[in-house]
Amino acid sequence: EIQLQESGPGLVKPSQSLSLTCSVTGYTITSGYDWSWIRKFPGNKMEWMGYISYSGSTNYNPSLKSRISITRDTSKNQFFLQLNSVTTEDTATYYCASLGYWGQGVMVTVSS
């Protein structure tokens, strides 16, 4: 069974970087699928942030411009999100997912 688990700080200060890890078990991330970061804002709005493919290529939402980076560590079967220069508008629940499989989500608050 494929399982995903996010980890990372729940509180980040404005202007700092948000860093999250997604640990995948039950499947090797280099075998297939696109591995995404998706966030849900207070209310119902969902936003796809970007993905790293099984081959290592990345695709990002242009709305995040140059603030986002998604990388991976294949030896640990993990992929990572870094979002720079955060503001209060980045407060959301962050999910790692491959659409068919989702982590439980981590709530991140941006506040001083």
Partner 1 sequence: DVVMTQTPPSLSVAIGQSVSISCKSSQSLVYSDGKTYLHWLLQSPGQSPKLLIYQVSNLGSGVPDRFSGTGSQKDFTLKISRVEAEDLGVYYCVQATHFPWTFGGGTKLELK
Characterize the bridge pairing of strands 11-12 and 106-110.
parallel
For residues 74 and 13, give the distance between their C-alpha atoms in angstroms, rounded to a whole number: 30
Token digits for 65? 């411009």
Interactions with partner 1, residue window 32-71 (CB under 8 A): 36, 44-48, 59-63
* Alpha carbon 92 to chain centroid, angstroms: 11
- The least CB distance from residue 61 to partner 1, in Å, is 4
* Of the candidate residues 71, 74, 99, 107, the single one contacting partner 1 (CB under 8 A): 99
Return the number of the residue (62 or 75) whose C-beta is nearest partner 1.
Answer: 62
Return the number of the residue (7 or 74) whose C-beta is nearest partner 1.
Answer: 7
89 binds partner 1 (CB under 8 A): no
Burial-class residue 69 by CB neighbours within 10 Å (0-12, 13-18, 19+).
middle
Chain contacts with partner 1 (rule: CB under 8 A): 36, 44-48, 59-63, 95, 97, 99-100, 102-105
